Structure 1
Amino acid sequence: MVVVAEAASQVPECHTFTKLPVTDTIIGTDLVVRLLLYTGRNSSCATLINATHTSLLDITKKTIFIIHGYRPFGSPPNWLNKMITTLQMVDDINIIIVDWNRGATTINYSVAVSNTKKVADVLVPVISNILTIGGSLNMIHMIGVSLGAHISGFVGSRFNGQIGRITGLDPAGPLFRGKGKGDRLDPSDAQLVDVLHTDIDALGYEEFLGNIDYYANGGTDQPGCPATIMSGKRYMVCDHQRSVFLYINSLDSTCNITVYPCASYEEFLDAHCTQLDSTYPIFGYHIDKWANTSSLMRFPNKVFFQTSTDEPYCMYYYLLDIITWNKNTRKGYITVGLIGENGVMAKSQANRNAKSFEKFKEVTLLVSVDKDVGNITSVSLTFSSANLVEPKLKLGILRMKLKSLTYPDRPHVCRYDIALQKDLEEKFQPIECQVQEM
């Protein structure tokens, strides 16, 4: 039996997300859907609404539904308050929290999955009522986390894909993999469906689910998350939850995270998918301000980006072009250090795959660092050989050229005739490249 919570009475009352005891995990909970409304008039005090009580919404403003996922221990999502307050800081909107904690709290994950379409059944008449009082489907944005992403898709399909936007944050994979589009989130469920993948090898979903699918760090292990099960619960959920925190930071971040269309993460890391004369989409909430939906459709589904270990998770990208003069091919890795005119220092990781440096043949590397150093005043290069039996190996560089992908208008810097001894950092001051080398 589905229970829909009653709307608020005439007496103002602040409502909060349902908090359940751990014992309910074992016992299980019947589905109860509560809709908590925040507006400009009640930004810190949620009002309880239902399908017949939506008049408190300002229909001239966008309405965002936030839908959580599986809650095995009954606690409120640890990201919820931050999501609400950050959204309110950057946009004047209606926010509806879809609280289905009763129904999502159970030790039996399959029961929670079976409740997802029932939650959608509750939301459909709510949106229909919004339309009745003069609202528009164009002004509705559903943000679904894990199971909530699929709930958003079920709702969107009931409105023939005319809802303005659905954002799926690491949509749930277990019991959804291999399902048809009627049983999961699908690109046809809204005018724009954007999906972030952060845990495709465990709790998330690997394949395309949207018009644009972001794969942060390839969609698997997220920097800063525990690498072993010794960290307990955090090891299990960190990669999955990182999708929400990345999205929250996209709301009001100090940087826009640029993303790159590519066939695979390996090709992205090998700099096969970056062209300085291209305009790339950005990740997150503000993508609709970057371009309209039709222009987004020209991009392949898969786009990739990297993040740092800590908020706001920004990375800054460069292309490093190297031409070497060694008679024999050298195979190995390059680590890059940067110092900017403001004194900020940053260092890249060594390129993930060994590169072959052949005489007079240009090799391009993708360099990513977690700080914006500004205009570059100093560069360091370290060469590590892939052949461990060559202790005195030297990489002779005829020319190196470094150019910012993140800020392409910044000066491109060059340096000529450098000899890198194996595993020894070589620091130098670059010069601005000649015009013909730009």
Structure 2
Amino acid sequence: MLRLYFFISLMCLVKSDPDETCPSFTRLSFHSAVVGTGLNVKLMLYTRKNRTCAQVINSTVFGNLNMTKKTTFIVHGFRPTGSPPVWMEDLVQGLLDVEDMNVVIVDWNRGATTVIYNHASSKTRKVANVLKEFIDQLLVKGASLDNIYIIGVSLGAHIAGFVGKMYNGQLGRITGLDPAGPLFNGRPPEDRLDPGDAQFVDVIHSDIDALGYREPLGNIDFYPNGGLDQPGCPKTILGGLKYFKCDHQRSVYLYLSSLRENCSITAYPCDSYRDYRNGKCVNCGIPQKESCPLLGYYADNWKEYLKQKNTPMTKAFFDTAEEKPYCIYHYFVDIITWNKNIRRGSITIKLKDKAGNITESKINHEPAIFQKYHQVSLLARFNQDLDKVATISLVFSTGSVIGPKYKLRVLRMKLRSLAHPERPQLCRYDLVLMENIENVFQPILCPKLQM
């Protein structure tokens, strides 16, 4: 909670922009947050017919809303300064890019704007009631619950859950983007988002140690980078305002990346982040196995698989890059050594193509154990996906600063892509890695019969 209050105080410095010509998200000042705001919910519709200028709609005025198409509601969370969410416009346009649908912003800034988080939290059920009344009218006009999709951010995720409960879980889908943790952690299902609130509930947890909810809340729960510190986000308070909100907001930006054709983030069902990092949970990426779940908009492709397996809840883990669009590419580095004694250490691998592009992966989350004639399979994560690798470099390190330098005698190294298993596997034989010394070599194609 201390981090939350620091976040509120720093947000005091943010100012809102002047009103625009078209109806837009409510802009309030920090003064409004200090004195508090009464709840007022405004619904703003965007379609491909009016992508850039919203229509204010209500239970009697529906504008361009097409009852036969999917209707996606975007519900924001706590707004301690009254400023509009910086990601809202990108999310609206991204959704309209991938599908011809109705996109409705649920603007409850009058209510969410307050410096007292508890006051905003207490209004969530009232917002859900407003949405329920509106959706009831959509159903009267011929809309289907199957076509109702709610994307809830932080407090908005629990609002989505409350709406879903009022329809006995028959809404088509709910996506929770880092559902709020404070005042909700440990609460029973009726007081928060729950897997039974829609036909399919997917959740991205990106700040489980501060502003987000730690435990699973959906049919599938995604934990980027373990759900804790996100790459590229400040690690200390010296990062200013970004330190308090970066991890929490990353869930939104990861979802946005799924709306771009050049980035499909694959996740791996697993019991723990550690098991994922150790390469124990990537069978879904192997040919002739089930497909891996995708993060974000297309996560519901996994809905039928969950039904077939009769698995009500699944946790999935993955790592990301520091910058947009956050995609990384997984490879296995298989190493067989012939040292007489056991060696413990980490491996850094660097790939380079003929064009000079370089990408690097440090596999150092925990020491690998290398034993004579025993294959160690290390999961490497690269920010770039190089189609044709010209050279590979390896560095072995024990992490010791003052101890003796060791050698790692490699009988065979093999590199294989998880994202593109059809690509030829690359090998190299009889290498001696001197500790902390880079060994650069040209790989050769592995024998085709080799596993």
* Shorter-normalised TM range: over 0.9
User: Residue 55 of structure 2 contacts residue 63 of structure 2 at CA under 8 Å; is this kept in 1?
Assistant: no
1:201 to 202, 209, 215: 209
CA distance in 1, matches of 2:273, 2:392: 27
- Kindly state the Cα deviation for residue 290 of structure 1 after the two structures are TM-superposed: 6.0
Partner of residue 238, structure 2: 230
What do the CA deviations read for 1:34-61 (whole angstroms, capped 9, x no partner)? 0001122221111111122236310121
What do the CA deviations read for 1:330-386 (whole angstroms, capped 9, x no partner)? 110000001135542100123210111111111110000101111222111100014
Which amino acid counterpart does residue 420 of structure 2 have in structure 1?
Y
User: Residue 261 of structure 1 contacts residue 300 of structure 1 at CA under 8 Å; is this kept in 2?
Assistant: no
- Is there any run of 5+ residues in structure 2 with no aligned partner, and where? 1-20
What do the CA deviations read for 1:142-187 (whole angstroms, capped 9, x no partner)? 0000000000000001001010000000000000001010100000
Partner of residue 351, structure 2: 338
User: Residue 397 of structure 1 contacts residue 418 of structure 1 at CA under 8 Å; is this kept in 2?
Assistant: yes
Partner of residue 420, structure 2: 407
Which amino acid counterpart does residue 320 of structure 2 have in structure 1?
T
Which amino acid counterpart does residue 367 of structure 1 have in structure 2?
A
Percent identity over the alignment is 51
CA distance in 2, matches of 1:32, 1:178: 29
| 1:382 correspondence with 2:395 | yes
CA distance in 1, matches of 2:310, 2:318: 19
User: Residue 351 of structure 1 contacts residue 365 of structure 1 at CA under 8 Å; is this kept in 2?
Assistant: no
Partner of residue 167, structure 1: 175
CA distance in 2, matches of 1:87, 1:308: 23
User: Residue 54 of structure 1 contacts residue 129 of structure 1 at CA under 8 Å; is this kept in 2?
Assistant: no
Partner of residue 299, structure 2: 287
Q: Quick one: structure 1 residues 91 and 297, their matched pair in 2 at CA, closer, same or farther if it must change by over 3 Å?
A: farther
| 1:130 correspondence with 2:138 | yes
* Secondary structure of residue in 2 paired with 1:160: coil
User: Residue 212 of structure 1 contacts residue 296 of structure 1 at CA under 8 Å; is this kept in 2?
Assistant: no
Partner of residue 314, structure 1: 327
What do the CA deviations read for 1:313-336 (whole angstroms, capped 9, x no partner)? 010000111110000111100000
Partner of residue 427, structure 1: 440
Which amino acid counterpart does residue 260 of structure 1 have in structure 2?
Y
Partner of residue 254, structure 1: 262
- Kindly state the Cα deviation for residue 89 of structure 1 after the two structures are TM-superposed: 1.7
Partner of residue 42, structure 2: 34
CA distance in 2, matches of 1:291, 1:430: 40
- Is there any run of 5+ residues in structure 1 with no aligned partner, and where? 1-12
Partner of residue 144, structure 1: 152
CA distance in 1, matches of 2:125, 2:312: 31
2:336 to 323, 338, 348: 323
Q: Quick one: structure 1 residues 253 and 242, their matched pair in 2 at CA, closer, same or farther if it must change by over 3 Å?
A: farther
What do the CA deviations read for 1:182-201 (whole angstroms, capped 9, x no partner)? 10000000000000000000
Instruction: Give the superposed CA RMSD.
Output: 1.5
CA distance in 2, matches of 1:246, 1:208: 18
CA distance in 2, matches of 1:299, 1:361: 38
CA distance in 2, matches of 1:291, 1:255: 21
How do 1:1-400 residues align onto structure 2 when only pairs under 5 Å count?
14-54=22-62, 56-275=64-283, 276-277=286-287, 278=289, 279-289=291-301, 292=304, 294-295=307-308, 298=311, 301-400=314-413
Q: Quick one: structure 1 residues 422 and 436, their matched pair in 2 at CA, closer, same or farther if it must change by over 3 Å?
A: same
- Kindly state the Cα deviation for residue 300 of structure 1 after the two structures are TM-superposed: 5.4
- Kindly state the Cα deviation for residue 296 of structure 1 after the two structures are TM-superposed: 7.8
CA distance in 1, matches of 2:260, 2:170: 27
Which amino acid counterpart does residue 169 of structure 1 have in structure 2?
L
User: Residue 308 of structure 1 contacts residue 315 of structure 1 at CA under 8 Å; is this kept in 2?
Assistant: yes
Q: Quick one: structure 1 residues 113 and 300, their matched pair in 2 at CA, closer, same or farther if it must change by over 3 Å?
A: closer
User: Residue 343 of structure 1 contacts residue 373 of structure 1 at CA under 8 Å; is this kept in 2?
Assistant: no
CA distance in 1, matches of 2:134, 2:355: 53
Q: Quick one: structure 1 residues 317 and 241, their matched pair in 2 at CA, closer, same or farther if it must change by over 3 Å?
A: same
CA distance in 1, matches of 2:94, 2:39: 29
Q: Quick one: structure 1 residues 297 and 351, their matched pair in 2 at CA, closer, same or farther if it must change by over 3 Å?
A: farther
Q: Quick one: structure 1 residues 80 and 295, their matched pair in 2 at CA, closer, same or farther if it must change by over 3 Å?
A: farther
What do the CA deviations read for 1:90-140 (whole angstroms, capped 9, x no partner)? 211101100000100111100100000000010001111111000001111
